């Protein structure tokens, strides 16, 4: 979303800048000047100071058009470079160059981001002049923004440069100058360094590319306790990462060896608090759970009760093949991973148009069910379970206009559940179920009717623990 908003802003800005060029292109060149009846020409265009403004055609119109219309970041950068160096021009135009670099950065061209950041950091763009004091103010906020944008699209060097601006903006302005808007932010600076130099983990091994500057700055922070609590071990690790990022050619390797040669830090003595003897409180009736401390009587058993409701589709086949709406409700009693369920359901091909129905079915079922947890990490503290079951059905079906006929059969299902991570008390869950049924009808012969069902279910669980098949060690 952020890049989309930036793209829209850049396209609008550049369209306004090159509007005369587009108008000229439609007329194969600049439009002729209108003349008055007496033959006199119009007054020339002047700026706010009264100076005559010369309108010239951009020599880089093709690249600027690609930048605007095709969101081509490389074209933006190339045109910006030419305006900056003054290629083919009497003089360079840094203002035009910066606007093109900013547009290229919005279109995720990393070199354009870096170029814009450098111009703002060096005070070649975005400077303010205090007319009273004569002091120059540099726009380090924009410099940090474009370094951060380059960092986000993969230029690790930019992560370190953005972090340095956040850690100590004063160091990046010349003597006698100041800066505006950007405040010192040690936390955000450290975050930027950590993007440029990920910590050593299984997913970020030592040979992964890192920014040496970011690693060295993190090493200094942990060694000196600058914005963090001192940690010599972490400082050593980051010096090692900086050494690897420099291919052993910098002084980071020496810094790591220097820290290892230091004497061990003294271990702080633990303060022992002497308390008078008191009787041990009786807390065995309570235990810690994921949702707080609750009574033992509601958690130390595996019996639980469920209610559920669902909607879905029932596909009946073979002849004729019909797709029906299905509504169901049910309840179940569980004993750890095994349960007994009772369900009732209503299905029809026309829910609202009663007179146009071809089939109406009422069905009840009793099932033996099982559910086991799936050891997968999902957000919000939720848990996943896999459930399946088999059972028998009994009901009636009506093929209009024939009367209702008794039906009985068997059912098998499998479902994937996602529910609350609570281990006790009322908790909610949802499931996606696929069910297969075979049904025989009175007077319908020996061939069963087959149906496949797809159902979305929502339910609530009450009382004891959720299903768990792992052994637990009881602690008194």
Determine the pLDDT at residue 1.
44
Angle (nearest 5°) at CA 218 between 212 and 219: 85
**51-103 residue pLDDT tens:** 776 666 678 888 999 998 999 999 999 999 999 998 888 888 999 999 999 99
Side-chain half-sphere CA neighbours of 210 within 13 A = 30
Determine the pLDDT at residue 202.
65
Q: How confident is the model at residue 203 (pLDDT cuts 50, 70, 90)?
A: low
Q: Which of 116-125, 225-234, 320-329, 377-386 has the lowest mean pLDDT?
A: 377-386
User: Would you say residue 284 has pLDDT above 90?
Assistant: no
Report the pLDDT averaged over residues 128-144.
Answer: 86
Report the pLDDT averaged over residues 168-188.
Answer: 85
Q: How confident is the model at residue 42 (pLDDT cuts 50, 70, 90)?
A: low
- Do 370 and 337 contact (CB within 8 A), yes or no? yes
Percent of the chain with pLDDT over 70: 77
Q: How confident is the model at residue 152 (pLDDT cuts 50, 70, 90)?
A: very high
Phi-psi region at 160: left, alpha or beta (left = phi > 0; alpha = psi -120 to 50): alpha
Determine the pLDDT at residue 475.
41
Whole-number CA gyration radius for the chain: 37
> Hey, which of 122-126, 295-299, 372-376 has the most confident mean pLDDT?
122-126
Percent of the chain with pLDDT over 90: 40
Whole-number Å distance between alpha carbons of 78 and 87 = 11
Residue where the block lists tokens 């930048």 = 67
Choose between 92 and 14: higher pLDDT.
92
Length of the chain: 476
Determine the pLDDT at residue 436.
94
Q: How confident is the model at residue 298 (pLDDT cuts 50, 70, 90)?
A: very low
Determine the pLDDT at residue 264.
79
Q: How confident is the model at residue 295 (pLDDT cuts 50, 70, 90)?
A: very low
User: Would you say residue 20 has pLDDT above 90?
Assistant: no
- Do 408 and 439 contact (CB within 8 A), yes or no? yes
Buried b (16+ CB within 10 A) or exposed e, 169-200: beebbeeeebbeebeebeebbbebbbbbbbee
User: Would you say residue 420 has pLDDT above 60?
Assistant: yes
**93-111 residue pLDDT tens:** 999 999 999 999 999 999 9
Report the pLDDT averaged over residues 386-391.
Answer: 95
**220-265 residue pLDDT tens:** 999 999 888 999 999 999 999 999 998 888 888 999 899 898 887 7
User: Would you say residue 299 has pLDDT above 80?
Assistant: no
Q: What is the dihedral of CA 420, 426, 431, 433, to 10 degrees?
A: 150
Longest dimension (CA), the chain: 113
Whose CA is closest to 339, among 368, 302, 372?
368
User: Would you say residue 285 has pLDDT above 60?
Assistant: no
Q: Which of 16-25, 38-47, 232-241, 261-270 has the lowest mean pLDDT?
A: 16-25
User: Would you say residue 279 has pLDDT above 80?
Assistant: no
| Mean of all residue pLDDT scores within the chain | 81
With H, G, I as helix, E, B as strand and everything else as coil, classify residue 238: helix
User: Would you say residue 150 has pLDDT above 90?
Assistant: yes
Q: Which of 48-57, 138-147, 324-333 has the lowest mean pLDDT?
A: 48-57
Determine the pLDDT at residue 129.
83
Determine the pLDDT at residue 243.
92
User: Would you say residue 116 has pLDDT above 90?
Assistant: yes
Determine the pLDDT at residue 120.
93
């Amino acid at each position: 979303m952020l890049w989309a908003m930036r793209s829209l802003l850049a396209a609008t800005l550049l369209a306004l800048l090159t509007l005369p060029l587009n108008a000229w292109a439609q007329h194969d060149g600049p439009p002729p000047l209108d003349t008055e009846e007496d033959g006199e020409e119009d007054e020339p265009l002047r700026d706010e100071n009264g100076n005559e403004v010369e309108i010239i055609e951009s020599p880089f119109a093709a690249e600027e058009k690609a930048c605007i219309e095709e969101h081509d970041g490389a074209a933006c950068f190339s045109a910006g470079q030419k305006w900056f160096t003054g290629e083919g021009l009497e003089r360079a135009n840094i203002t035009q160059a910066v606007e093109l670099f900013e547009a290229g950065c919005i279109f995720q061209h990393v070199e354009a981001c870096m170029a814009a950041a450098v111009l703002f950091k060096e005070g070649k763009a975005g400077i303010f002049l205090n007319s009273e004091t004569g002091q120059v103010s540099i726009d380090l906020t924009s410099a940090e923004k474009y370094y951060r944008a380059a960092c986000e699209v993969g230029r690790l060097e930019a992560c370190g440069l953005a972090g340095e601006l956040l850690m100590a903006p004063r160091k990046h302005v010349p003597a006698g100058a100041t800066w505006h808007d950007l405040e010192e932010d040690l936390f955000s600076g450290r975050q930027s360094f950590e993007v440029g130099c990920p910590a050593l983990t299984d997913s970020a091994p030592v040979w992964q590319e890192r920014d040496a500057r970011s690693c060295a700055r993190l090493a200094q922070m942990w060694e000196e306790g600058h914005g963090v609590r001192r940690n010599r071990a972490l400082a050593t690790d980051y010096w090692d990462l900086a050494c690897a990022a420099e291919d052993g050619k910098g002084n980071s390797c020496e810094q790591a060896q220097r820290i290892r040669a230091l004497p061990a830090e003294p271990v702080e003595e633990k303060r022992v608090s002497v308390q008078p003897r008191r009787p041990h409180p009786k807390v065995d009736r309570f235990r810690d759970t994921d949702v707080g401390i609750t009574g033992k009587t509601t958690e130390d058993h595996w019996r639980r009760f469920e209610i559920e409701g669902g909607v879905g589709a029932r596909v009946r086949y073979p002849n004729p093949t019909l797709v029906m709406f299905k509504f169901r409700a049910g309840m179940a009693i569980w004993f750890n991973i095994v349960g007994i369920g009772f369900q009732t359901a209503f299905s029809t091909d026309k829910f609202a148009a009663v007179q146009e129905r071809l089939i109406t079915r009422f069905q009840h079922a009793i099932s033996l069910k099982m559910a086991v947890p799936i050891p997968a990490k999902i957000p919000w503290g939720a848990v996943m379970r896999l459930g399946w079951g088999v059972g028998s059905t009994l009901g009636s079906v009506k093929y209009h206009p024939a009367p209702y006929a008794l039906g009985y059969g068997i059912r098998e299902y499998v479902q994937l559940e996602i529910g609350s991570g609570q281990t006790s008390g009322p908790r909610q869950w949802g499931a996606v179920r696929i069910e297969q049924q075979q049904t025989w009808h009175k007077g319908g012969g020996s061939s069963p009717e087959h149906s496949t069902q797809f159902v979305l279910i929502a339910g609530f669980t009450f009382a004891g623990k959720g299903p768990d098949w792992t052994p637990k060690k009881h602690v008194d």
